[in-house]
Amino acid sequence: MTERDKILGRIREALTISAPPPGEHGPETHHLAGHPIQFAPRPAATNAREWLPKVGETFEDQVAQFRACSDDLKTEFIVAESLADLPKILGDLRDRERWKQAAAHRSDLTDAAVQALGLPTLTVDGGYDVRALERCDVGITTCDALVAQTGTLVVTSRSSGGRALSVLPPHHLVIARRDQLVADLPAAFELIQQRYGADYPSMISLVTGPSRTGDIERILVLGAHGPKKLTVVMI
């Protein structure tokens, strides 16, 4: 018998006695032990939206909420009218942050950004030198979705240039399209499941603000190990 079979065997043995329904208070629940419980749990997956913080209905409301969350999180959120605005916006960013070297993955949006920046750029597709990536000032990626409810962006190892590009350089720059904004977390998971079916990327990450820590006297410090700055440009 393998260890797997042994553990599963013990679990099945233990579960022959059913437990009282969850959230019951009071010590009187143990009389239920030994009887099958007629209890149908409500899954969080289908109910989450009813209890989570409310999100506005219209696109404008949702942009406003994403902005409010971004302000709280110290994410820089810029809305661009069109792709034509990128050179100006990114040029300003580059000069303000004194970027010398960028890193990016290939895609329509990131290609446009790389062109707009006009910096030497490391392309990560197909593999790269980790030390070279570590020396880059900014990692440029796309994302799968922006979540208005929490100011979150969804990146994956397939759509955002692997695992390290969005977290190793000190500044993470995300270029998104306006139709990528979704209302809430349930919508974000729905989108992930629809987009990938059973063929998921090996990493899916919900990123909510720049890296942070409160480990020293619970005082907030940005840029613990991941990016110190996060900029989202929505076109």
Partner 1 sequence: MTTEVQEFKTQATKVVGDLRHRKLIQTALGKYEVARDKRKGAFQSWSEARQVAAETKWDAINHLDEHLVSFADKLEARGTKVHWATTAAQARDIILGIIQAKNAKCIIKSKAMTAEEIHLNAAMEKAGFEVVESDLGEYIVQLRQEPPYHIVFPAMHLTRHDISDLFEKHLGSAKTDSPEELTMIARRALREKYITADVGITGANFAIAETGMVSITENEGNARLTSALPKTMISLLGIEKVLPRMADLALFLPMLATAGAGQPLTCYNTLYGGPRQPGESDGPEEYHVVLLDNRRTELLADPEQRDALHCIRCGACLNVCPIFKNVGGHTYGTTYSGPIGSVITPHLRGLQNWKHLSYSSSLCGACTEACPVKINLHHHLLQNRRNSVQKEADPQEKLIFKLFAWAMNSPGLYGAGKSVARWFGPLHRLVMGTFLDPAKAWTKTRDLPPIAETTFKEYWKNRQ
Q: Residue 87 Cβ, how far from partner 1 at the closest point, in Å? A: 26
CB of 35 to partner 1, least distance (A): 10
SS3 call for 139: strand
Restricting to residues 193-222, name those near partner 1 by CB under 8 A.
193, 198, 200-219, 221
In the chain, the amino acid numbered 230 is L
Chosen residue from 109, 173, 188, 232 binding partner 1 by CB under 8 A: 188
Judged by DSSP in three states, 171 sits in strand
Report DSSP state, residue 187: H
DSSP secondary structure letter of residue 81: S
Please report, as residue ranges, which positions from 76 to 115 form the binding site for partner 1 (by CB under 8 A). 105
Q: How far is the CB of 208 from partner 1 (least distance, A)?
A: 4
User: Could you give the angle at the alpha carbon of 204 between the alpha carbons of 198 and 208, nearest 5°?
Assistant: 145
- Comparing CA positions, the residue from 225, 78, 104, 233 lying closest to residue 159 is 104
Q: Which of residues 20-49 bind partner 1 (CB under 8 A)?
A: 20-27, 29-30, 32-33, 39, 41-49
Nearest approach, Cβ of residue 52 and partner 1 (Å):
6
3-class secondary structure, 166: coil
* Pairing mode of beta strands 171-176, 229-234: parallel
User: Is residue 226 involved in binding partner 1 (CB under 8 A)?
Assistant: yes
CA 124, distance to chain mean position in Å, is: 20
What are the residues facing 78 on neighbouring strands?
233
Q: Quick one: which of 36, 38, 51, 58 contacts partner 1 (CB under 8 A)?
A: 51
Coil vs helix vs strand at 110: helix
User: Which residue's structure tokens are 């392309």?
Assistant: 123
| Closer residue to partner 1 in complex, CB, 36/81 | 36
Binding positions for partner 1, 128-167, rule CB under 8 A: 128, 130-131, 134, 150-152, 157-158, 161-165, 167
Question: In the complex with partner 1, which residue's Cβ is closer, 94 or 105?
Answer: 105
Question: Least separation, in Å, of the C-beta of 45 and partner 1?
Answer: 4
